[in-house]
């Protein structure tokens, strides 16, 4: 349901340095260990409220997509820490290899997501979640199976995004839990438009964030976030093998129980890179006005944009952004 004539915010192409932010702080955990063991270690720091039936919201990718989170990492995590969990996804808004549930399941097989249940949440129906305090929506349509779970683990490959500038935890659930026909159309398309992608820049970011808020509010304390800063193409994983080549260095893995803090810290670490290393991804973020995701999450009281960065590789030492990225190497030297 739409509110009448909202006005988008501004400033989505303007980066706000940490020193200029105000408000409370959250804990964000960091490891440089880009491995199955690194993922397990950092998840354990934010997993204390994962109870009952647990869903893992993960972008499983287009066929043979090269940049998705490695399947062996996820398999190890599920077998060791989340043996009863299911990966959850929704069908795409665009026609392609994940447009119908049948096509989607074939793509899951191609990509090797066969070691645990994968629930296509909009396979049968949609459900409406309220959007509290939004200006674009009063409710969002999500895959109905989302309501079958008690907890949600948002496991995100942080990268660029053609429409959103960057794809972090907010994008993962804001787009990824919205059903493929109704919810995603509410975010992407002005009703009656013949251009399915006509909503962009600040308005798109706000719609996506409001969708994410409906999921965050639904799960309350029983939701947690991990962002993997690896293979960060400027393209989303929805572009599959057509994604732009990766040029941004791998950084590490972040985790928090605060969705704004984890996405803000991910963006901050990119901006903390050298100018040559960050250039491509920063240009993608700012040209799409993607930073509005962060300021709008703050306006909607979804979390804090100030945080303590906790280095779990070194006895939980508090570190600066510069400390976290000082040893990164150009992407081509990481392989």
Chain segment 226-266, per-residue pLDDT in tens: 999 999 999 887 767 777 999 999 999 999 999 999 999 99
Per-residue pLDDT tens over the stretch 259-294: 999 999 999 999 999 999 999 999 999 999 999 999
Q: Is the pLDDT of residue 212 over 70?
A: yes
Q: How far apart are CA 219 and CA 210, in angstroms?
A: 15
- What token pair was written down for 78? 């599920």
Per-residue pLDDT tens over the stretch 110-154: 999 999 999 999 999 999 999 999 999 999 999 999 999 999 999
Give the SS3 label for residue 289.
coil
Q: Tell me the domain boundaries of the chain.
A: 18-333
Full-model pTM: 0.96
Residue in 17, 59, 305 with CA at minimum distance from that of residue 167: 59
Which band of pLDDT confidence, cut at 50, 70 and 90, is reported for residue 335? very low
Which band of pLDDT confidence, cut at 50, 70 and 90, is reported for residue 4? low
3-state SS of the chain: helix, strand, coil percent to 5? 35, 20, 45
Query: Residue 282 has what DSSP assignment?
Result: H
How many angstroms from the chain centroid is the CA of residue 147? 20
Q: Is the pLDDT of residue 1 over 90?
A: no
The average pLDDT across 36-48 equals 98
Residue in 144, 174, 146, 171 with CA at minimum distance from that of residue 159: 171
**Whether domain 18-333 has CATH 3.40.50.11440:** yes
Q: What residue ranges in 59-104 does DSSP mark as E strands?
A: 86-89
């Amino acid at each position: 349901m739409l509110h009448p004539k909202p006005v988008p915010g501004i400033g989505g192409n303007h980066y706000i340095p940490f020193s200029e932010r105000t408000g409370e702080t959250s804990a964000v955990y960091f490891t440089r260990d880009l491995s199955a063991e690194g993922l397990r270690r950092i998840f354990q720091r934010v997993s204390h409220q994962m109870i009952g039936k647990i869903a893992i919201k993960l972008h499983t990718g287009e066929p043979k997509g090269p940049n998705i989170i490695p399947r062996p990492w996820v398999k190890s995590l599920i077998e060791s820490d989340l043996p009863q969990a299911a990966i959850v996804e929704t069908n795409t808004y665009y026609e392609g290899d994940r447009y119908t549930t049948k096509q989607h399941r074939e793509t899951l097989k191609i990509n090797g997501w066969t070691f645990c249940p994968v629930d296509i949440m909009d396979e049968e129906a949609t459900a409406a979640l309220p959007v509290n305090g939004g200006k674009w929506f009063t409710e969002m349509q999500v895959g109905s199976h989302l309501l079958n779970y008690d907890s949600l683990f948002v496991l995100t490959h942080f990268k660029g995004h053609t429409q959103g500038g960057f794809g972090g935890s907010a994008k993962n659930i804001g787009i990824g839990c919205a059903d493929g026909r109704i919810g995603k159309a509410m975010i992407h398309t002005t009703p009656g438009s013949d251009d399915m992608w006509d909503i962009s820049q600040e308005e798109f970011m706000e719609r996506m964030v409001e969708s994410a808020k409906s999921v965050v509010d639904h799960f309350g304390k029983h939701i947690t976030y991990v962002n993997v800063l690896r293979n960060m193409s400027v393209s989303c994983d929805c572009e599959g093998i057509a994604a732009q080549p990766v040029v941004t260095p791998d950084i590490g893995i972040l985790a928090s129980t605060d969705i704004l803090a984890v996405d803000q810290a991910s963006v901050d670490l990119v901006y903390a890179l050298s100018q040559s290393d960050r250039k491509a991804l920063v240009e993608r973020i700012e040209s799409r006005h993607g930073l509005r995701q962060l300021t709008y999450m703050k306006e909607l009281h979804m979390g804090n944009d100030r945080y303590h960065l906790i280095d779990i590789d070194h006895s939980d030492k508090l570190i600066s952004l510069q400390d976290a990225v000082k040893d990164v190497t150009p992407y081509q030297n990481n392989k």
